[in-house]
Amino acid sequence: MFSAWLVQLLLMLTFYKYAYATLSHLARGLAKSAPLVQGLDGEGLGVAVKQFFVFIVLFVPLGFVGASLGKAAASLYYVVALLCLPASVMALATEHRFASAINPNILLGIIRRIGASYLALFFMLGILSSGPMIIQNYMVKSIGHEYLALQKQDPRDVDQEELQRAKTSFENKMFRMVLPISIFANGYFTLVMFSLMGYVLFQNHRRLGLD
């Protein structure tokens, strides 16, 4: 179990390493994504590890805020953390420092310098981030309509053997079809989002002092 978890963690870090390489590539004005080899070599993995801890720093306090100040404060904190997340990713991509990625002054400075384009970026990232879930929900409804329909019926009116058969078929399709496509969709949309942030960095490199 631990070894499987470790492999998944390493794969995730490798993927984010490549995503950051792509972001940096496009931020320098290069039209193409970073070569795939940049995700496979051993250099630059630290930035992906730092991103993991950035997520912890930004979102772990959400539970404490909710417990101590209430749901309204937690919702406000969540919105602010989400709003700062693209700036945090861009700060980490350009400075490669964990402290920069969680420094409010640096994050607000990035947001202020980019201006209205940052809000457009934020909403575009929000739309893109919902893509994998939309695809997954559509596939689940498409391949599991028989099982889902049986679940909605009164248990007394359902043949249990038919229900079990539909459940087994649904679970097999989830594993063979929905899971691989969901993983691919998550990776694809994440790369699109990182590419978009790289493009915004390139468009605002003078304002951000990245010359």
> Taking CA 45 as the corner, what is the angle to CA 43 and CA 46, rounded to the nearest 5 degrees?
110
Residue 81: what residue type?
A: A
pLDDT value of residue 175: 78
pLDDT value of residue 43: 57
Residue carrying the six token digits 């995730």: 12
pLDDT value of residue 102: 92
Which contacts of 164-170 are long-range, i.e. CB under 8 A and separated by 24 or more positions? 170/143, 170/144, 170/146
Q: How many angstroms separate the CA atoms of 45 and 10, rounded?
A: 10
pLDDT tens digits for range 108-141: 999 999 999 999 999 999 999 999 999 988 888 8
pLDDT tens digits for range 172-189: 878 788 888 888 999 999
pLDDT value of residue 179: 84
- On average, the pLDDT of the chain sits at 84
**Is residue 80 very low, low, confident or very high in pLDDT (cuts 50, 70, 90)?**
very high
Q: How many angstroms separate the CA atoms of 49 and 80, rounded?
A: 23
pLDDT value of residue 90: 93
* 41 pLDDT higher than 60: no
Average pLDDT over residues 2-13: 76
Burial class for 26, CB neighbours closer than 10 Å (0-12, 13-18, 19+): buried
pLDDT value of residue 144: 74
pLDDT value of residue 78: 92
**Is residue 206 very low, low, confident or very high in pLDDT (cuts 50, 70, 90)?**
confident
pLDDT value of residue 2: 59
pLDDT value of residue 42: 53
pLDDT tens digits for range 135-177: 988 888 888 777 777 677 766 666 677 777 877 877 787 878 8
